Amino acid sequence: MEAYHLRTDLWAEFMETEDGRTWMFPILTHLIDEYGNPLVGANQNDLDALLDMSSNMTPDMVPNIFSYWQTNRSR
């Protein structure tokens, strides 16, 4: 998530789109608070299943994110 802090304005714009939220979801599921709860709002009981699902989705989403930033990097 360090990249986010380099251009918070552009990342925020990206995350406001449906594609941005969809593509980032499997990555964001791995972010947890100080109590070990996922920041995406899932409860602790569903965490293992959520992480498994997200791990399977990530390889399909990363190329989409890369392509988005390749297209929009000059901004």
Mean pLDDT of 10-21: 94
Q: What is the Cα Rg of the chain in Å?
A: 13
Q: Which residue has the higher pLDDT, 2 or 57?
A: 57
Is residue 1 pLDDT above 70, yes or no? no
Total domains, the chain = 1
CA distance 45 to 3: 30
Domain holding 11, by residue range, is 2-72
Q: How far is CA 56 from the centre of its chain?
A: 14
Query: How distant, in Å, are the alpha carbons of 12, 25, 40, 44, 57 from that of 49?
Result: 28, 14, 14, 10, 12
pLDDT tens-digit series, residues 20-71? 999 999 998 888 888 877 788 887 788 889 899 999 999 999 999 999 999 9
- Name the phi and psi angles at 36, rounded to 5: 85, 10
pLDDT bracket for residue 13 (50, 70, 90): very high
